[in-house]
Amino acid sequence: MNFVELILTVCTLAQPAACDERKIVLESATGSTNNCMMQAMPYIAQWSGDHPQLTVTKWRCARPGADGDKI
């Protein structure tokens, strides 16, 4: 099984300029970032519901390690 990362840029509601990245690792039959982009909305909605103090301002998909992961 292949994996892709759904990378969310999120900001706090209390301080909209305080933004950070959060990553969600998704299983993918093909490892395609295009498939990730098409299937991302339910994951973003669930994540947003679980984190009501944060707002997602943008998102993208990448292969794990392809974007210089921050730890």
pTM: 0.83
User: Read out DSSP for the chain?
Assistant: -EEEEEEEEEEESS-TT-EEEEEEEEEESS--HHHHHHHHHHHHHHHHHH-TTEEEEEEEEE-TTTT----
Which amino acid type is present at position 29? A
- Name every residue whose Cβ is closer than 8 Å to that of residue 23 and which is 6 or more positions away in sequence: 5, 6, 7, 8, 69
User: What pLDDT, on a 0 to 100 scale, did the predictor assign at position 69?
Assistant: 46
User: What pLDDT, on a 0 to 100 scale, did the predictor assign at position 67?
Assistant: 56
Which ranges of the chain have pLDDT less than 50? 69-71
Distance CA 22, CA 47 (A): 10
pLDDT in tens, 26-40: 987 777 888 899 899
